Amino acid sequence: MTHNPHPADVIIGKNICAARKRHGYSMDNLAQLIGVSFQQVQKYEKAINRVSCSMLVHISVALETPVEDFFGKYGYVDYE
């Protein structure tokens, strides 16, 4: 089965990665801050696994980044 992530999950993953890098954190650093494995952070960033709302809030706090910043430039996703 081929995994085709939803465009929103891809955008959120990329924005988590960008915020993590802006703070100079490795995936392992972020994983420790949010209480998951390095592999789980990797799956979030690659949109292999979806990020739950509660985890997104946790990531937002850890990266000192507003939740809405993870949704992209315009705060929404074009579903076409």
Residues 9-58: tens digit of each pLDDT: 999 999 999 999 999 999 999 999 999 999 999 999 999 999 999 999 99
Residue 79 burial (CB count, 10 A): 7
Q: Which helix (H) or strand (E) holds 20?
A: helix 7-22
Confidence of residue 75 (pLDDT cuts 50, 70, 90): low
Between the alpha carbon of residue 54 and those of residues 24, 58, 67, 80, the distances in Å are 23, 6, 11, 27
**CATH class entry, domain 7-71:** mainly alpha
- Integer Cα distance of 45 and 10 in angstroms: 8
What are the boundaries of each domain within the chain?
A: 7-71
